[in-house]
Amino acid sequence: MKTYQDILNELLETIRPLAPNADSLTEDTELMGNLGLDSMKVMNLLQEVEDHFDVSIPINVLPDVRTVGDLARKIHEILGER
């Protein structure tokens, strides 16, 4: 069973190539605000995240995901429900 920290670390690795200009990437980095991902890049990222963690991210969680940490917590929840 992966811990939140494991998921966060893997998530940061997944995001890094998509946001090459980000100098610091942490739990609190905002995906759209700080990283400047547009809505299409966000969709691309979600696809990579789904494939990497083998989860399906429900559409209704998106409005409450702002930061990298928010997304890691959601993935943790989804994995925990299995």
Partner 1 sequence: MGAQATPTENTIPLRRADFATLAEALDYAALGQTGCNFYNGRGELYEVLTYADLRDQAIVLAHRLAGLDLPRESRVALIAETTPDFIRFFFACQYAGLVPVPLPIPFSLGSHQAYVRQLRTMLQSCRPSIAMAPENFVSFLTEAAEGLDIDYFGAPEDFERLAPAETALRPLQSDELAYLQYTSGSTRFPRGVMIRQATVMDNLAGIAQYGVCLRPGDRAVSWLPFYHDMGLVGLMLTPVASQVSADYLGTREFAMRPRQWLALMSKNKATISFGPPFGYELCMRRLRPGEAAKFDLSAWRVAGVGAEMIRTESLRGFARALAPAGFREEAFLPCYGMAECSLAVTFAPLEQGLKVDRVDREVLAVKGEAAPVEDPDQPFNEFVDCGRLLPGFELKVLDGEGNEVSERTIGTIHLRGPSVMSGYFEDAEMTSQVLSSDGWLNTGDLGYFVGDRLFLTGRQKDLIIVNGRNIWPQDLEYLAHQQPEVRPGDALAFGVPGSDGSDLTVLVVQCRETDEAKRADLKKRIRSRVQSEIGVDCIVELVPLHTLPRTSSGKLSRSKAQQNYIASHDFTHRESRGRRAAV
Contacting residues toward partner 1, per CB under 8 A: 21, 30-33, 36, 38-40, 42-44, 46-47, 50, 56, 58-60, 62-66
CA distances from 13 to 20, 42, 43, 52 (A): 12, 15, 17, 11
> CB 82 → partner 1: shortest distance, Å?
17
Complex with partner 1: residue 10 or 70, whichever CB lies closer: 70
User: Which CB, 36 or 80, lies closer to partner 1?
Assistant: 36
What Cα–Cα distance (Å) separates residue 49 from each residue in 16, 18, 58, 82? 12, 12, 12, 17
Q: Which is nearer to partner 1, 7 or 49 (CB)?
A: 49
Residue with tokens 């100098």: 23
Rounded to a whole number of angstroms, the minimum distance from the CB of residue 28 to partner 1 is: 13
CB of 9 to partner 1, least distance (A): 21
Could you give phi then psi for residue 73, rounded to 5 degrees?
A: -65, -40
